[in-house]
């Protein structure tokens, strides 16, 4: 799957949780959703190309959730 499509999907997920007033909770929920629902190859692609994804318009909430995925993998 191409990076632009992954960015769009991550932003859509983030958009659902954007209304939550607790941004930490929203980040956790977006990260959990991506971990549960996305194929590992999709997660790896967006994590490895995060700077490019941000340049393509990845929202701050979605970017924070992607970073959180990376933190879990190394913890």
Q: What is the pLDDT of residues 33-55, one digit of tens each?
A: 999 999 999 999 999 999 999 99
Contact 35, 69 (CB under 8 A): yes
pTM for the full predicted model: 0.90
Distance of CA 73 to the CA centre of its chain: 14
73 pLDDT tier (thresholds 50, 70, 90): low
Residue with tokens 């490019």: 52
> What is the C-alpha separation between 22 and 5, in angstroms, rounded?
27
Predicted pLDDT of residue 7: 97
Residue with tokens 């769009």: 8
> What is the C-alpha separation between 75 and 58, in angstroms, rounded?
24
Average pLDDT over residues 13-24: 96
Contact 12, 58 (CB under 8 A): no
Indicate if the pLDDT at residue 72 is higher than 70.
no
């Amino acid at each position: 799957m191409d990076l632009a499509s992954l960015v769009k999907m991550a932003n859509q997920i983030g958009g659902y949780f954007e209304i939550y007033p607790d941004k930490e909770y929203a980040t956790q929920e977006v990260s959990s959703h991506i971990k549960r629902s996305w194929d590992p190859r999709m997660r790896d692609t967006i994590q490895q190309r995060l700077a490019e994804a941000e340049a393509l318009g990845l929202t701050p909430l979605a970017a924070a959730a992607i970073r959180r995925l990376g933190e879990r993998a190394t913890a």
